[in-house]
Structure 1
Amino acid sequence: MEGPMEVKEKQSNLPMEDLLRRLEDIFASHGILSEVFPDYRPRAEQMELSKEILLSLFEEEHLFAEAGTGTGKSFAYLMAAALYALETGKVVLISTNTLPLQNQLMEKDLPVVEEVMRRCGYGEFRYELAKGRGNYICRRRLELLIATVLSEANHPWRETVKEISLYIEEAKRGVREEFPFYIPWEIWNEIGGDYEDCFHQYSPFYEKCFIQNARKSWSKANLLVANHALVFADLSMKGGGEGGVLPRYDCVIFDEGHRVEESFSRFFERSVSLPQLDHLMGIIRQRRQGWMRNVFDAEVIQEIGELFQPLRERLEEGFTQLAEYLADRQRSEGLSPLTPVMEMIESPLPVRVDVEKPIERIIDYLKGIEAERCGEEVEKRGIALLMGRIQEIGENFRFITQGKGGDGWAHWLEKNPPSQAGLLDPQAEWIRAIAQPIDAKQVMQEFYEKVPVTFISATMATGGDFEYMAKRLGIPSYRRFIAGSPFDYRKNALLVISELAPDPRREEEYISFLVQGILRILQMTRGRTLVLFTSFSLLEKTGNALLPYTHELGIQLLLHLPGEDRSRLIEEFRANPQSVLFGCDSFWEGIDLPGDELRCVVITKLPFANPQEPLAKAKMRLIEKEGGDGFRDWMLPSAILKMKQGVGRLIRTTEDRGAIVIMDSRILTKQYGRRFLMNLPPARRGKLKEITHYVSDV
């Protein structure tokens, strides 16, 4: 497919003044949008944001924009993007970080935009949702599963697979949510599209392929919606000389733009572990990829298994050495070797194992099989990809344990013992070696030169500018826009800051302070309170200490512990007004609890990253090597953005009221505290006893 650099030449026939006036007609108090969407309320900030986005698109300039809750940023950028696409014939790609936002755009917002464009006098406006291959059923893989499962009278999947086989011809898109019954993930993994098991044009179902049909639809769209990970997958494939996932596009709008750097690092992550190797061997033994059925017979599978055994033994030896290395480090710090740990690799590790020779023997054997048995293109492609995956195991092991890639990468080890583990258990399978790139600009620079990019989020700026995010993402020149809030914080929100909080490093004293303070808050709020923590450990200890008191008050205490279902906790909190929810990391953003659902947000601690975590250490080290200051240039601004996200949970509509309580006095006593304060919403400062007036039902 074509890359994003091939820009269509058509420009708008209308002067810019007319296009901006058209946006005014759309967003006016009795304008086109209000005709289509009766609940619409005009906001000056929304119209100005939409104009700025339209200007940046036509000028082909990068843009950073911050627009908090209530601004209506989705309609702002969608209206600008639709006008631009229809006027120029160019394609706009909208990228989001989360599935709920994608669903909102596709199911609620874009149908409204389509009707608005029609009333503006435009012809057809096409928009499509682009998903990864694994979200679509592969008809060929489904046929194989049907043949296998229905041949066994007592197969546990029999009824579900039979239902799928009966419904498949009615399916228009072949996506999981289209089926009117539940499909378990273990079944979907057998029938979903798989890049390594794709027959492309050689598939007997190519003409009816859901994935190919989806891509044809994408190529006809004026506006594409995707997620950040799919955008990076597309960039990666095109950078490697392949056709890519997405069709040509001319500009990108990253909503939830503050998550782009994190998505970048996760997508390009490299990792290796024994379970990964065992999973790969399981694919071979079960011949789970279609091309393997004609190439790997029982004898070949046995011989591959025998060749895999020395590789597994070498890797197990290497991971055992890594486990011993971690255990020694833990014992020196007074920790049990059974404690989960993340340890940064700051210099090459003394791992004395040779994985190259076993891998070479496997590759030589597979090359022989390729020459003897792979006559079809799909078989040649399949075995080439398999050899690549096997070689990647050795490359990743060396890359991570030897700290390769330079300062632009973070390398670390993770140890996660099972809950019933004992000190005498073999520990090699508990270890995972990981590396992530931390310098997005190294990869993204070429992309920025070809495509104008808009980054938009409710939290992008610190201290009124975008310097922090621009440096992290590698954009030297850009337009900027910060939308004012439509909310009256001075009237509707109270800000309380604990002035005498103990130092959080004195943990026992600090937990006692939190328990007493949260108890006082709950005595006034009687629930509807979200308490945000920066670590699961502090959350659990505080929750356990508070539990007898909440029980006495008749308030349900919901704790977000590792492994807990986030959605279930939120629904329980919504269902019971007399509940308090203790949330960690993911609860600082992405939850919407308007009106009476939430009346008080408590920040237990300034949300600084743990400076001992590998990613944090690596990022600060890189900044300092480039002449910056790790705390000033990364730790502080990232904490400010997270604070803005957490505080932003409270006021979600113009009618909302409530209180924000910050239980960390460093915001007042430390010099950097002023930076936090200037980034908080302009709520009225007051005392704890005033909370009652802001959480009552008045």
Structure 2
Amino acid sequence: MRDRGSEEMAEHLEESDFVREVGACFAPGGRLSRKCPGFVSRPSQVAFAQIVARTLENRETAVLEAGTGTGKTFAYLTPILLSGRKAIVSTAGKTLQEQLFNKDFPALEAALGVHVTVKLLKGRANYICLRRLKNVRQMGLPTKQAFDDLRKIERFAAVDSTGDRAGVKGVPEDSVIWSYVTSSRENCSAQKCPYAADCFVNKARQQARDAQVVVVNHHLFLSAACVKEASDNRMLPDADIVIFDEAHKLPEIGSHFFGQELSSSAVFDQLQEVRRITISRHRHALDKNLTWEELYESARDALQDFVLKLDELGIHEGESQNVALSVSSGSVTCPSTSSARYTQCAS
């Protein structure tokens, strides 16, 4: 977004008191320049912030793009903080999510002279499960390193109020112990759990409901959109404002939640499962003139033909595209309204 274009866009905005207040924060001698060392007023940033302010004020939707160095983060956070309304800010990954929470929000609150309750909310697997932590020693652990990591987690959980695994020092992100001491939606006992009152996930969600601003990532936001839960235990609270930072990554992440994934390895796994069931339960029904190996080869040839057809359509390994499958006619067309991901794996 060039400065000239930004200035022209800002000139066409009907400046309310709120829009003018937001713009004044970014002006030379404004609150940000007085409180933030090295801050330089930029017309493009002022325009960006005022567009966000007007969008919030009119309860509209806006899609904004600006180049590196524009100062987008402060430009959308400032109107949120000054609005006094409930907001959810979603980022593509945890790195920016934690930067917003630990650095940008505190800096802006101090500069603007406002106090806003901001909470960081992550997915369930990021929090220690007290029930599983209590019972893990009875399950048995595979390695000595897992026991060493467990002791660190136990010490952390005894004194920390969040249960956020990111706060545990000395335990790698890929340690096997995490699968033993965190929960999933499938194995969570919910309100039947004896530790429900102290559950770190429940506490985090309650704090998010009470906060003015909740910082999440796209995976959690889209996951919440897919799951129906009781109103008192929903992943995300209701909000007046939703901001998607790094919104260009939403389609890719969204395809995992709202699309279908196809991989050659998954198809072959299913073929092997069919083979196992067929041989164990229905051996007598097999045509003696047609062996399983011939059936398997026939299915594999059909899959390879399908892969070639996808390649002709420009759908390659690891890519997400809109695909329509017509099984009855044996055709594959592109595009359609549903999203699919194809991953080719060695068989």
Question: What is the TM-score when the length of structure 2 is the normalising length?
Answer: 0.75
Q: What is the distance in 2 between the residues matched to 1:209 and 1:274? A: 40
- Cα distance, 1:319 vs. partner? 7.6
Give the match for residue 83 of structure 1: 82
1:165-176 pair list within 5 angstroms: 165-176=154-165
- Cα distance, 1:97 vs. partner? 1.4
Q: Is residue 244 of structure 2 the alignment partner of residue 264 of structure 1? A: no
Q: What is the distance in 1 between the residues matched to 2:103 and 2:345? A: 42
Q: What is the distance in 2 between the residues matched to 1:48 and 1:214? A: 35
Q: Is residue 147 of structure 2 the alignment partner of residue 158 of structure 1? A: yes
Q: What is the distance in 1 between the residues matched to 2:275 and 2:193? A: 30
1:457-606 pair list within 5 angstroms: none
Give the match for residue 344 of structure 2: 415
- Cα distance, 1:169 vs. partner? 0.7
Q: Identity of paired residues, percent? A: 28
SS for the counterpart of 2:214 is strand
Give the match for residue 19 of structure 1: 18
The 3 A distance-change label for structure 1 pair 347 and 96 is: same
CA contact (8 A) 1:92 1:223 kept: yes
**Equivalent residue in structure 1 for 2:302, among 319, 322, 325:** 325
SS for the counterpart of 2:53 is helix
1:471-495 CA-to-partner distances (Å, cap 9, x unmatched) read xxxxxxxxxxxxxxxxxxxxxxxxx
1:61-91 CA-to-partner distances (Å, cap 9, x unmatched) read 111212111110100000011111x2xxx31
**Equivalent residue in structure 1 for 2:99, among 93, 96, 104:** 104
What letter is aligned with 1:310?
A: I
CA contact (8 A) 1:46 1:71 kept: yes
The 3 A distance-change label for structure 1 pair 112 and 53 is: same
**Equivalent residue in structure 1 for 2:168, among 155, 179, 185:** 179
1:502-549 CA-to-partner distances (Å, cap 9, x unmatched) read xxxxxxxxxxxxxxxxxxxxxxxxxxxxxxxxxxxxxxxxxxxxxxxx
Q: What is the distance in 2 between the residues matched to 1:319 and 1:32? A: 70
CA contact (8 A) 1:56 1:63 kept: yes
Runs of 5+ unmatched residues, structure 2? 1-14, 282-291, 310-315
Q: What is the distance in 2 between the residues matched to 1:180 and 1:231? A: 27
Give the match for residue 216 of structure 1: 206
Give the match for residue 68 of structure 2: 69
CA contact (8 A) 2:23 2:49 kept: no
Q: Is residue 277 of structure 2 the alignment partner of residue 310 of structure 1? A: yes
Q: Based on CA coordinates, which of the two structures has the bigger radius of gyration?
A: 1
Q: What is the distance in 2 between the residues matched to 1:202 and 1:309? A: 38
CA contact (8 A) 2:45 2:72 kept: yes
CA contact (8 A) 2:129 2:199 kept: yes
Q: Is residue 92 of structure 2 the alignment partner of residue 93 of structure 1? A: no
The 3 A distance-change label for structure 1 pair 243 and 402 is: farther
Q: What is the distance in 2 between the residues matched to 1:40 and 1:136? A: 37
Q: What is the distance in 2 between the residues matched to 1:157 and 1:219? A: 35
Q: What is the distance in 1 between the residues matched to 2:307 and 2:125? A: 40
- Cα distance, 1:142 vs. partner? 1.7
Give the match for residue 10 of structure 2: none
Q: What is the distance in 2 between the residues matched to 1:331 and 1:48? A: 49
Give the match for residue 11 of structure 2: none
The 3 A distance-change label for structure 1 pair 157 and 238 is: closer
CA contact (8 A) 2:325 2:331 kept: no
Q: What is the distance in 2 between the residues matched to 1:107 and 1:278? A: 46
Q: What is the distance in 2 between the residues matched to 1:308 and 1:133? A: 37
Output the aligned Cα RMSD.
4.1
Give the match for residue 192 of structure 1: 182
Give the match for residue 472 of structure 1: none
Give the match for residue 141 of structure 1: 132
- Cα distance, 1:136 vs. partner? 0.9
Give the match for residue 225 of structure 1: 215
SS for the counterpart of 2:336 is helix
Q: What is the distance in 2 between the residues matched to 1:232 and 1:44? A: 34
CA contact (8 A) 1:50 1:79 kept: yes
Runs of 5+ unmatched residues, structure 1? 1-15, 280-305, 333-338, 351-400, 418-426, 428-698
CA contact (8 A) 2:260 2:341 kept: no
The 3 A distance-change label for structure 1 pair 331 and 409 is: closer
Question: What is the TM-score when the length of structure 1 is the normalising length?
Answer: 0.39
Give the match for residue 128 of structure 1: 119
1:28-87 CA-to-partner distances (Å, cap 9, x unmatched) read 222221233212111121112111111111101111212111110100000011111x2x
The 3 A distance-change label for structure 1 pair 170 and 104 is: same
- Cα distance, 1:103 vs. partner? 2.5
